[in-house]
Amino acid sequence: MNIEKYLNQLNANQKKAVQAPRQPILLIAGPGTGKTRTIIARIVYSIEKYQIPPEKILALTFSNKAANELKSRLSAILEERAERIFCGTFHSFCLTVLRKNHELVNLDPFFTVCDDEYQNNLLLQILKRRKIPDAGKKVKGILLAFSNHRLKGKQLPGFSASVFQEYTKHLQQHRLIDFDQVLTLTLELFEKYPDVLEQYRFLYQSILVDEFQDTDRIQYQIVKKLAQKHKNIFVVADDDQSIYSWRGANPENIRDFMNDFRIETPLLLEENYRSGQSIIDTAQLILEETDRIEPEKKIQSVGNKEANLTALFFDQEGQEIDFIINKIKYWRDEQNIDYNEMAILYPFHRIGEQLATYLLKERIPFQMAQGKNLTDHPLMKRLLLYLKLIHDPSDSLILEHLMRLELGEHLTKKILQWATLKGMSLRKALNQFASGELSGPKVKNQLQTFIGQIANLINLKTFFTFDRLIQEILNGMKNLQSSVLKAHYKQLVPLNFKKEAHLTTGKRTIWVYHPDEQIGFLERALLKNVFDTKVEALTEDGVVHVNQNDLVLLSKPCKSEPVSAYDVRLYEFEEDGRRGSLSTLFRWLQVQIQPAGDGVFKDYVVFDLETTGRDPARDGIVEIAAVRVRDGKIEQQFNTLVNPGIAIKAGAQAVHHISQADVQDAPTPQEVLPEFFKFVGKDMLIAHNGYAFDFKFLDRYAKVLGLPRLKNVRYDSLILARNLFPNEQNSIDALAYRYGLDAGTRHRALDDVIVLHKIFHRLLKEVRKREILTSGEDFAEFAALGNVLENKLTEREDRLLFEAGIHKLLSPYSRIYKPFVNTFPEQKEVLDKKLEKISLGQNVQIKYYDSDQEFYSRVLRMANNYRKLPIDEAISEFLAFVALINTQDNLEPVDAVSLLTLYAAKGLEFEKVIISGLEDENIPSIFTYRQDDQDDRPIDKKMDEQKRLLYVGITRSKSEVIFTLVRNRFGRRRKSSPFLDSIKSKIDIQLYSV
């Protein structure tokens, strides 16, 4: 590549930093000065000029979002070479080190990282076990003491020290480490094993660190050790944006770096490409009295941008909210500012949550970066708990949490109380309730289904790729999402489309024919969104360009048919119930996006027991039958009566009609079970109600007879049936009736297993059918828009797909609305009116799109990244990845107003910014004025950090900053922030008036 051409795009100071020799470099880069561009240029320069191989470059930053941006921009320049560079967070780098060297730090090969919620629950459990009063109020302080101990080297108080031992022991027992241990164990590894450190020093010949002011003591020690020999380390920092001391960051690392690597003068970036000069000057005033590495920074705006800063005082919160909503509408309607160029920043979430309720009412799209990571989303919370339990079925803390979400607080509390009363484990208490000893039939079924669902997942995990495991968990979760297709998929008629090959490899071009320009545009847009391949419009005159192996989709008859060897005449599938072109294309896509059959249930044994009674702990077996299945067909049978050696209860005999006389001369369990176990071999075992009944009998007999417990993968078909047909009868009799099967002599074991084999085959087909008919809802908005444009809304399927897609179509998450109106601008006004009118006429309640379906799709996309890993490794890697996601990673690239805390706004930029809550004890925080064990920094140090936090907020804006202050916020009289005094000469101060 032409490196000189790339360098010419940089300003003088950027170029100076990029071309600096391979020596320790400290680059102080203010907001908007192009630090990311400079880092990228330094990496490219190192490869092209210094001939450093890409795989020997380590680029560290502080958020996945920043790392992904770095990767994306490097890929655009270096193409495939960019993939060999390690771009990631400190924690992701340390995780790769620990995974490779896990045995040296006593970690399980499949260890994973616990999230904040798990830490809180664990500590709360420990404190309650010790009968500590007000345990919930002490958790945060103790966890902070743990962090201060590990990251800052502070001594633990006596009580915290004893809790710390129990806390770390629990983590080790359950193959877990916490967020801080990811760092401390890596440093420990490098200190204890110099040979390992030398490997990584040799591996990474060039080290770059972004946001260096946010590093803690441990992180600095890690990079210092890595760079100590070759000293080719390039550090980018801005002491003015150091805002994380409260969570361990040490801005003094900048001075330590200068001393340790003998840097006399840092390089500076002072040309701001983002903000107008008045915004920069105002922000600089805030920092005048703070302790700065480079106090005489002269940051200048490039391009003479105009900028305005205003402060408004309100009496009540309602006035502030009215103003913000009207201002957003003004910016959008009068100044044509996109929603995604607007941000409302605030010191704490309560302000954003209050504003969000009013934005919903006004149908103003917004997104909030709230909480630490994805685990705050209720769907993700449940999914992760299932994954964690699959990862470690013995973790009662996870089991309890999952029970609370899936079984409800009341039932979980009853089971917990019983476990405490009887001094038994939670798992044992759960099984007792599930046996029916302590619960009625309804609760018994609920608990057996819950236990069976978990057991099926644990048993089958080794058969699945990771994305398939995620799909199985989601399929089994009740009330997963507001899915129109899941609720009404039975209205869709299965279509006999062929699954095409090579649609995602780029080997085939897809040609689409529709005579209507707008419908053709929608069809191509839909296909491009789904497949990573070339999609072209087919015209009557353009068929000569089609290769014989290309795929041709004909939505309407074409005079040149056949066009290729792979024509799909979609129009032939239009019928009563479905008339829309996009509806038919959507239905075709549902088949294409399904993964190929995974062969999980290819070879297995179905078995059934007849017994002397219903108690697996005491009763005996009177008959065993089984069939061995290969490729869906019965290959071999096993059937025998068994002499149980005990009386057959009258109730049992009335069901299966096996008498004492029938089994008198039959072989005993000692004779039968070894033969049965031999017949089973290593095949998967399938039984109906197996976990509650059949499997328990086998395990008990194996123990009594001294036989090895069957280690075969087990599967309970009753759980599958209950997931498919909730709130319906799912016995073998009921399912045989549903599918019109002859049950033979019911309640004789062999007849039962033969009919169960047939039922199981039908259930698997039902699962496949449901998976196809409920897939792709993420793309239903294309069908909704197409059906509106074609006026195809009277038929059943057309109307259903409209309902499935309309909410997303009208939301900021839409992938087609904006491209369509940009391509056909004359249609916008007509289309908007038409959508609203049809929605009302179809009685579709247009609501704010809650993005659950978008979230669901996002999870599946994430899971797909782990599908090639062995399943245990994939689970541990995914759990660690999610635990380390930070707030900004929740933000999607959609046209929506951003509601962010000042902390979450760091690194982002917007045209317009409103900073709400500029009152004393909000900005600066009330905690700034307090000195306690949780944060023992001097008040002046904490005040400086709060000034830097406001500086960060102000410098997010390109052209306008509005500060809002409320005299009576949340029921308390407030004073304005003392920081306002230092900037009032630069801003327009107004009193709000209606």
Query: Which residues is 25 bridged to in the sheet?
Result: 234
Report pLDDT for 197: 97
Q: Say how far apart CA 948 and CA 963 lie, in whole Å.
A: 16
> How many Å apart are CA 434 and CA 442, to the nearest integer?
10
Distance CA 138, CA 147 (A): 15
What whole-number distance in Å separates Cα of residue 696 and Cα of residue 876? 30
Query: Is 747 marked active-site?
Result: yes
Interhelix angle 466-476/441-460, rounded to 10 degrees, is 170
Q: What residues in the chain have per-residue pLDDT under 70?
A: 1, 295, 370-375, 478-482, 504-506, 596-598, 744-747, 839-855, 887-890, 932-935, 993-994
pLDDT digits (tens, 9 = 90+) for 183-240: 999 999 999 999 999 999 999 999 999 999 999 999 999 999 999 999 999 999 999 9
Instruction: Give me the pLDDT at residue 861, please.
Output: 81
Q: Could you count the other beta carbons within 10 Å of the beta carbon of residue 672? A: 20
Residue 66 vs residues 35, 861, 903, 908: alpha-carbon distances, Å: 12, 19, 15, 10
Topology (CATH) of 3-105+181-269: Rossmann fold (3.40.50)
pLDDT given at position 846: 42
| Longest pairwise C-alpha distance within the chain | 104
The conformational region for residue 645 under phi > 0 = left, psi -120 to 50 = alpha, else beta, is: left
Give residue 841's pLDDT. 59
pLDDT for res 829: 87
CATH class of 375-482: mainly alpha
Give the pLDDT of residue 270.
Answer: 93
Contact 27, 235 (CB under 8 A): yes
Q: Is the fold of 375-482 the same as that of 603-772? A: no
Instruction: State which fold the 300-373+887-991 domain adopts.
Output: Rossmann fold (3.40.50)
Q: DSSP for 735-778? A: HHHHTT----STTSHHHHHHHHHHHHHHHHHHHHHHHHHTTTGG
Confidence (pLDDT) at 505: 66
* Edge-to-edge order in the sheet of strand 714-716: 633-641, 621-630, 603-611, 684-687, 714-716
Cβ proximity of 438 and 418 under 8 Å = yes
Cβ atoms within 10 A of the Cβ of 291, count?
12
**Enclosing H/E stretch for 278:** helix 277-286
CATH topology of domain 603-772: Nucleotidyltransferase; domain 5 (3.30.420)
As a whole number of angstroms, the distance between CA 985 and CA 989 comes to: 9
- Residue by residue, DSSP assigns 83-117 as GGSEEEEHHHHHHHHHHHTGGGGT--TT-EE--HH
Q: Which of 747, 757, 761, 807 is catalytic?
A: 747
Tokens representing residue 747 in the block:
């309640």
CB 57 within 8 A of CB 204: yes
Give the predicted TM-score (pTM) of the model: 0.85
- Domain ranges in the chain? 3-105+181-269, 112-174, 300-373+887-991, 375-482, 486-594+775-849, 603-772
Which two structure tokens, joined as six digits, stand for 693? Answer: 């009944």
pLDDT the model gives residue 487: 84
Q: Give the whole-angstrom CA distance, residue 238 versus residue 213.
A: 6
What is the rounded CA–CA span in Å between residue 100 and residue 109? 9
Compute φ and ψ for 312, nearest 5 degrees.
Answer: -120, 135
Beta bridge partners of 113: 177
Q: From the centroid of its chain, how far is CA 261? A: 40
Q: Which of 731, 617, 692, 616 is nearest to 434 (CA)?
A: 692
Per-residue tokens: 133: 């009063």
Give the per-residue pLDDT at 371. Answer: 53
Burial class (CB in 10 A: 0-12, 13-18, 19+), 860: middle
The pLDDT of residue 766: 92
